[in-house]
Structure 1
Amino acid sequence: MAAVLSRGFSGFRRPQPPREIPSGQYYETGFPVLTYGPTEKVPQDEWKFTINLGEDGSKSWNWDDLMAMPQTEIHTDIHCVTKWSMLDSDWKGVDLDVFFEQAGLGDDIDEDYLMVRSFGGYTTNLPVADVRDGKAFIVHEFDGKGITMEHGGPVRMIVPHLYFWKSAKWVESIRFMDEDAPGFWEANGYHMYGDPWKEQRYWGD
């Protein structure tokens, strides 16, 4: 029998992040695809984003409307609840405040919470304060290219300061709420808020 020499198994070493990331996270140099359920296929010319205004009806935007709005380039870090962190990601889209202004809301939003809905039915809840003042964006480009369907294209939302499940893929609509209520993952064990720096992953965190 021939002898087999082995240096042993040293394990997989993840790259070290260039700066601090939240506790419990690891530095990811790629962009993992994580989706519950099927990937939604939303044709660009059929995409529409709607803000529901209650008794005042609603305001909607299509792709051409989105392209005509003031564009913002966003350079930010992303932290996923499944423990990967992607640093220095580049996005392009429209500040959610611009949509509020065009919907006639300005600073006059009486409700404290909102529910974001995606094509396909996914939902996630957010405090209104966490999507104002340059904290949330409706984006259509990632890394200089159109967002792929797997990553939520043609248009998704990003709320970079919260765990990434709060950044709804295939974003379709927003409705305001007087009281907080759980979206899909929040009703299935995830934290109602989701601050990565406080490790708010699950109920009770």
Structure 2
Amino acid sequence: MNKNFMYGIGAVKYKDFVVGYIEPGSFDMGGVKPESTKINAEQVPGTPVLIIPQSNGGIAPTFNVIQLNYENLHKLLGGSLHYKKEDTEKKTPVGWTAPTSAVLMDGPWELSLVSGQSVLIPNGTLLSNLGGKLTLTETAKIECTLEVAMPADGSQPYGVFDTEAIPDEWKQYKLPAAEAAASVQAKSRKD
């Protein structure tokens, strides 16, 4: 792969959960521009005499999840899963109800890119809602925003690395491979 480019969202991962299918063209890194304060002087019209940096730029990825099985609704929006009465092992949900209070999904996230990099986010919070259109040409979707916050230990808010060469200090934020996470999800459904 050519490491001069970053492209293609392969998977969005949270802890042991791989987020379902994402709507084409909906994933946006949500780049936030750095902020500064410009100090002007009467003697120098039109050009600041001092620029004071206020904040670095950042990211706040947005994306739409279109794979709306009951498990994804539950994982991304909270609420409750419902099963047939005779399904005592709770293997296959037959419904979902919305939560009565706000759902907080925070912690480490990984954006696994097709181009061979991983964007690791030690402290991200997902904000999501059920949206979209119910037509014969579009599907309902979970509209998501991943807010990136400073980790409690004061380390960097995110990093971009070759997926196969994560530095040791960032390996704690590298989430299970998509295949491993999928098997964990399958196992948790059996429990």
TM (norm. structure 2) is 0.30
Give 1 or 2: higher strand fraction.
Answer: 2
| Bigger CA radius of gyration | 2
TM-score w.r.t. length of structure 1: 0.28
